[in-house]
Structure 1
Amino acid sequence: MTDLNGKTIAFLVAPEGIEQVELTEPWAAVEKAGGTPRLLSTRAGQVQAFHHLDRADTFDVDQQVADADVASYDALVLPGGVANPDALRLDEDAVAFIRAFVESDRPVAAICHAPWTLAEADVVRGRRMTSWPSLRTDLRNAGAEWVDEEVVVDGNLVTSRNPDDLPAFNDALLEQLA
């Protein structure tokens, strides 16, 4: 089992529209491995998760992304949900944080619709990746090689297609942190 003792993982989400399972399952995997997950968002307070289109739980934000330092985190997880990455890619602080994180060569894991934010940060050119199928054209237009696979690891970048891929996604994330 991977030992993440002493490693802090940033989970970046918008104030609402997060696919809950894409937040909670990687979060639990990080905790189980001994890491410390921290929730970052564009606003302080709480964020609203969803089970597809239905409201689910709320989660307390640990830090606003505008105040976050990439150097304080060992990895970045970008959960999906349609509304979540769509809102994040409109926030300059979130996009700058994501870009700086990818450029830092630390692990970045994005699932489902979350690669939209990677395209917005202009960090997918020449990268092999996957996502929810509707993002295929967006990612190709941003310069990525899109493939339909359960999980794709390209350097420090881990991507997966959907909640069904969470076991492989979590394993790849933890392997990147090992």
Structure 2
Amino acid sequence: MAEQSVSGTTIAFLVSTEGIEQAELTGPWEAVKEAGGTPVLLSTETGEVQAFNHLDKADTFAVDKVVDEVSVEDFDGLVLPGGAPNGDLLRTSESAVSFVRDFVGSGKPTAVICHAPWVLVEADVVRGRRLTSWPSLQTDIRNAGGTWVDEEVVVDGNLVTSRQPDDLPAFNRELLALVAQRP
């Protein structure tokens, strides 16, 4: 089903310990696997993370590595799933914000959806960039120097952003396209 092959790549999925929008984790995860890539679940703590279907508890997922234990060089791409609590918790983690800042700065593909652009704002990497998010983040993005637009998917250099779970087909397509273009 995957339109792009990302065989041989390793893609980091960075989440907090809870409040992850499950579809925004599992949809891109499956797309990466189907395209031949290896997804790795990073979090701020070891153990398991709690996903949600909007406001209802959903599945838990085992953490592969803690963000403090890895470097940008370990990965070919980065996905930040949404969920309001997830984005809010991640932006308060100094190690997560630093990792995201370095990852975006590396030029490697970075795909961010829904409430996760809060982490981009905190990392100060939206200035001069065009992106989208869940609508309630638009003022934060504009105040951080970004241009917010209401589109299903926006690609600005190495950055892919989308608004919500309904946008996942376009989000996954653009994520895989960027990763497939890697040198």
How would you bin the TM-score normalised by the shorter chain?
A: over 0.9
Q: Does 2:74 correspond to 1:72? A: yes
Aligned to 2:82, what secondary structure does the other structure show?
Answer: coil
Aligned to 1:6, what secondary structure does the other structure show?
Answer: coil
How far, CA to CA, are the matches of 1:127 and 1:150 in structure 2? Answer: 16
How far, CA to CA, are the matches of 2:20 and 2:152 in structure 1? Answer: 20
Count residues with an aligned counterpart: 178
Q: Does 2:138 correspond to 1:136? A: yes
Q: CA deviation at 1:4?
A: 1.1
Instruction: Give the alignment partner of residue 53 of structure 2, picking from 45, 51, 54.
Output: 51
Q: CA deviation at 1:3?
A: 1.3
Q: CA deviation at 1:20?
A: 0.2
- Aligned residue runs from structure 1 range 9-158, under 5 A: 9-158=11-160
C-alpha RMSD of the superposition: 0.4
How far, CA to CA, are the matches of 2:91 and 2:167 in structure 1? Answer: 23
How far, CA to CA, are the matches of 2:136 and 2:35 in structure 1? Answer: 32
Q: Which runs of 4+ in 1 moved over 2 A?
A: none
Aligned to 2:83, what secondary structure does the other structure show?
Answer: coil
Q: CA deviation at 1:51?
A: 0.3
How far, CA to CA, are the matches of 1:168 and 1:5 in structure 2? Answer: 20
How far, CA to CA, are the matches of 2:59 and 2:175 in structure 1? Answer: 24
Aligned to 1:148, what secondary structure does the other structure show?
Answer: coil
Q: Which 5+ residue runs of structure 2 have no aligned equivalent?
A: none
Q: Which 5+ residue runs of structure 1 have no aligned equivalent?
A: none
Aligned to 2:52, what secondary structure does the other structure show?
Answer: strand
How far, CA to CA, are the matches of 2:101 and 2:179 in structure 1? Answer: 19
- Normalising by structure 2, we get a TM-score of 0.97
How far, CA to CA, are the matches of 1:27 and 1:144 in structure 2? Answer: 27
Q: CA deviation at 1:83?
A: 0.1
Aligned to 1:48, what secondary structure does the other structure show?
Answer: strand
How far, CA to CA, are the matches of 1:141 and 1:68 in structure 2? Answer: 31
Q: CA deviation at 1:68?
A: 1.0
- Normalising by structure 1, we get a TM-score of 0.99
How far, CA to CA, are the matches of 1:112 and 1:91 in structure 2? Answer: 18
Identity of aligned residues (%): 67
How far, CA to CA, are the matches of 1:115 and 1:68 in structure 2? Answer: 21
